[in-house]
Chains A and B, each alone.
Chain A
Amino acid sequence: MGVLDEYNFPFCVTAHAFNHDKTQVAVCPNSNEVHIYQRSGTQWALGHVLAEHDLRVTSIDWAPRTNRLVTCSQDKNAYVWTQDATGTWRPTLVHLRIQRAATQAKWSPLENKFAVASGDKCVAVCYFGEDNDWWVSKHIKRPIASTVLCVAWHPNNVLLACGGADMKARVLSAYIKGVDEKPVASAWGERLPFNTLCGEFAAPSGGWIHGVAFSPDGESVAFVSHDSSLTVATPASGEVVSVRASGLPFVTLAWPAADTIVAAGYDCSPMVYTRDGASWRLVKRLGEDDRSRRSATASPSSGNSAFNLFRQMDSRNQPARTGSAADGGSLRSVHQNTITELHRDPTTDADVSTSGLDGKLVQWSIRA
């Protein structure tokens, strides 16, 4: 358990995506550009700069098998990027037909569709129209009442989970005639035409839904919301279990193995939850036991680091100097600021990667 690899970029990393073998990574430096870095030894070397968007890029997803990137941005556009024979990345504009910013884009498991969440109270499900040689989008509108902040695909390539500022997480059908095979009946439903609502769940104390994920077998859906909670819903048994976290809210999560959920957010540490009977239990705050790496003792959730800093300033009558105090003003966690994205590893179900506002890109092992 712990950090496998850590790299510090000189900018906030607001989105990241690894390629299939983790030799390349696409990151967004909190701007309208996407930078593709190539692994060289322990370092990352800048390979390509994809500058086609006009406003800040909100999400990047890298399809592992077809080696295509999808990016979406606040400029209401999404691009699908393919690499040509010379290695240059070529964009194809996707006609999303949305009037507000796009917030998150995700490839479906078969990589023949992708979903783009948006502030236009809809999710655009996009597929390639062979006839027109053009990415076509179809909107899931009902019953979404506000900005959609996150989407996640079910392993069957048809169902889509989304959550957003209307404080509900929903599971909907994104079945496209002519693209998808008829899905087998499951606890989510039997007939699943496009836009069928298969489940609607709320967090225990409301709050925006920041992240959703399906379980690896697709039987359950988990989401994190702004009330510092993790909720897992299983339609087959009708169970909806919420875990109230003691720290700040999570913004992103991954469900890499059947009994393991990893969530991360404003508390700067990825938290590992495991199944404990019907409920879920926090078993580990990743990276915080590694005392040899960090001498700091204050944890962000205790709220003591700021208190100690002020007390020190008061007792010694000294002005604050960052990095001067015993705990160096640094947190006990590996990330020193909010974690923006957490993704499961494309190669193994035991690893996850996180990126943060502190510019760090960290790969973690979650296996005990």
Chain B
Amino acid sequence: MAHRKLAIDGLDAENQEITEQMQFMSTKSNEEVASIVDQKAAAVRAAITRGNSIEALEKALADPPYGRGLESAQSSNAQLVSEILMATRAQDIASVVANLVDEDRDVLLKYIYHGLARPAEFNCGVLLSWHERVVENGGLGSIVRVMSDRRIV
């Protein structure tokens, strides 16, 4: 319940500036980011066909597109990550997750939540089994990090 009838934060010009400062903005243009994702895609798919999920994930999770205005690049990168997750056999998930570095594991969790938020586009059953393994390795800390991070994928 609001205690004030007047939104005082709107009266402060400095506030707008701060809000913008806190939003994560990408320094690259949409086209640049899209081309980076396309380049990655070929290498990632090659790794998938070789059955090397770890290499594929490391490539797909490196330098993910963050920030507003990059929605198309973001969704194609999410599709790329999801392709790897679908292609990995269920019994290999634990070892793949255990071999990821902490940083990549946190990024992977962001993509898992990205997928779970769009059940029409992604296979949530597979995502949940990945989620279980990621949280087993990274603990509650990795969930907290995804929630606190403003660099949304």
B149 touches A228 (CB 8 A): no
Minimal beta-carbon separation of B9 from chain A (angstroms): 12
- Give every chain B residue within 8 A of A2 (Cβ-Cβ): none
Write the nearest CB–CB distance from A139 to chain B, whole angstroms: 15
Tell me which residues from 100 to 153 in chain B have a Cβ below 8 Å from any Cβ of chain A.
Answer: 102-103, 106, 138-142, 144-146, 148-151
Chain A contributes a number of interface residues (CB within 8 A of B) equal to 22
A43 within 8 A of B: no
Q: Which of B18, B103, B144, B151 contacts A228 (CB 8 A)?
A: B144
Additional A-B contact list (12), CB under 8 Å, known A145-B22, A205-B145, A206-B151: A166-B21, A166-B22, A206-B148, A208-B148, A226-B144, A226-B148, A227-B148, A227-B149, A244-B102, A244-B106, A246-B138, A246-B139
Chain A residues with CB under 8 Å of B138's CB are 244, 246
Main secondary structure of the interface of B (DSSP, over half): helix
Give the complex CA separation of A340 and B148 in angstroms: 20
Residues of B with C-beta under 8 A to A244: 102-103, 106, 138, 141-142, 145
A245 x B151 contact (CB < 8 A): no
Find B145's partner among A167, A208, A228, A301 (CB 8 Å cutoff).
A228
When chains A and B are docked, how far (Å) is the Cα of A303 from the Cα of B22?
A: 32
Count, A-B residue pairs, CB within 8 A: 64
Chain B contact patch, size range: 10 to 19
In the complex, A30 has a CB within 8 A of chain B: no
Answer whether residue A109 sits at the interface, using C-beta atoms and an 8 A cutoff: no
User: A198 interface residue, CB < 8 Å from B?
Assistant: no
A14-57 contact mask (Cβ, 8 Å, vs B): 1 or 0 = 00000000000000000000000000000000000000000000
Interface 0/1 of A247-283, CB less than 8 Å to B: 1110000000000000000000000000000000000
| Beta-carbon contacts under 8 Å, B1-52 to A | 18, 21-22
**Candidates A145, A167, A208, A228; contact of B141 at CB < 8 Å:** A228
- Decide: A247 and B139 in contact? CB cutoff 8 A: yes
Kindly list chain A residues whose C-beta atoms are within 8 Å of the C-beta of B150. Answer: 206
CA of A40 to CA of B116 in the docked complex: distance in angstroms? 57
